[in-house]
Amino acid sequence: MKKCTPLGSTMKTTILLGLCFLNTLQATQYFFRDFYSSDLERAIRLPKKLKKEIQTCTQLNTLPHYTETGERKADPCSAAFKRSATLAYDLALGFLVSGKKEYAKRAQEILNKWAQSLKVVGSKEAKNLINFYMPYMNMAYLFIRSKFPSPPFERFSRGVLAYARYHKDNNIGAWSVLFGVSGALVIHDRALLLEMARLWQKWILNAIDENGVMQKEIVRSNTANYNGGPTKGIKGIAYTHFALTPISVAGQLLAENGFDLWHTKAGQKLFKAYNKTAEWVLNPTTFPYYQPNLMGIHHNAYFLLLNQYFKSTAGQQAIEQDGFKGDRFRLQFNDALKAIK
């Protein structure tokens, strides 16, 4: 059995000892570290993405995403940050699967430009934006670091961790956990990674009820009346996916770095949420706030990841439907995940 060294409080030590025991039971599969795809370059048009220009800003002063009547168009700087983060992720992933250095160099250039330019994160919404999109930048860097290290980006990643919103038990908190996990890996902070292992469990146990439902997400509307109004729940499934995606990815990154939490009480609760959400995807009329124009039902590519650890009949049937939307982590192109039944 792997030797464990106690770190910090009794609770943390107990978690760590349990993790070491779990690691002896099942070999970790490295779906991100060893991401393999035979079709990624063509499927997401990576050669074309090499030519995309990006703009950077010195400040982010993002406005609220919703107005009284619907979604607000993002301001140029917020839009540029989002576009840059996902572009860097795609290019870095392209390098990981193909070995083509031009992808890594372009990803590094994008990351460094933001590291050197962004100085002010001014609004609450801008801080949320950091939580939502820095994970893509951090993971992009992890894909290329072995051949293209960047001390400026590592300093930038460390600095913006100050904006993490770990205390939230909604989708923002889920993204914050992934932000913390990916950031800890970028800056080689093992203590922070251990804390994220604790927070991963805490978030799941607090945010998901005994029926596998996130009550704060299923009520979401598409207006500034976030949890009410005539469209209450129209984005309930979408926001459920939006919370479960980062917490699932964070769980995988933790597992790939020595913290296998899938078999904990929190892991089992996450799988219950997966099963319940899959039932809604298969039959949206069973969703508590069903209405004809439910949004974001098929933003569920993370099912491919959870299917590795938990066999849900509903989940597998939903996976077989294919047609994943909004798959920014490109899980549907991971050949190992697609091969699992």
| pLDDT tens digit at each of 341 positions of the chain | 333 333 334 344 444 434 433 443 457 889 999 999 999 999 999 999 999 999 999 999 999 999 998 899 999 999 999 999 999 999 999 999 999 999 999 999 999 999 999 999 999 999 999 999 999 999 999 999 999 999 999 999 999 999 999 999 999 999 999 999 999 999 999 999 999 999 999 999 999 999 999 999 999 999 999 899 999 999 999 999 999 999 999 999 999 999 999 999 999 999 999 999 999 999 999 999 999 999 999 999 999 999 999 999 999 999 999 889 999 999 999 999 987 66
Same domain for 185 and 304: yes
Q: Give me the number of domains the chain comprises.
A: 2
Same domain for 145 and 46: yes
Domain-embedded: residue 273: yes
Decide which of 138, 163, 188 is a domain's last residue: 163
Same domain for 156 and 176: no
Nearest 10 degrees: Cα torsion 65, 71, 74, 80: 90
Domain-embedded: residue 12: no
Domain-embedded: residue 125: yes
Domain-embedded: residue 334: no
Same domain for 200 and 149: no
Read off the DSSP letter of residue 223. Answer: S
Query: Is residue 126 classed exposed, middle or buried when 0-12, 13-18 and 19+ CB atoms within 10 A define those classes?
Result: buried
Domain-embedded: residue 290: yes
Domain-embedded: residue 256: yes
Length of the chain, please?
341
pLDDT for position 341: 60
Same domain for 179 and 149: no
Domain-embedded: residue 229: yes
Same domain for 296 and 196: yes
Decide which of 163, 187, 210 is a domain's last residue: 163
Range of 207's domain? 172-327
Domain-embedded: residue 281: yes
Same domain for 203 and 145: no
Same domain for 322 and 181: yes
- Backbone φ, ψ for residue 209 (5° rounding): -85, 180
pTM of the model: 0.92
Cβ proximity of 298 and 323 under 8 Å = yes
Same domain for 177 and 142: no
Decide which of 163, 192, 211 is a domain's last residue: 163
Same domain for 125 and 214: no
**Token output for 46:** 């990576």
Task: Write the DSSP string, 249-290.
Answer: HHHHHHHHTT---TTSHHHHHHHHHHHHHHHHHH-GGGSTT-
Same domain for 207 and 114: no
Same domain for 159 and 256: no
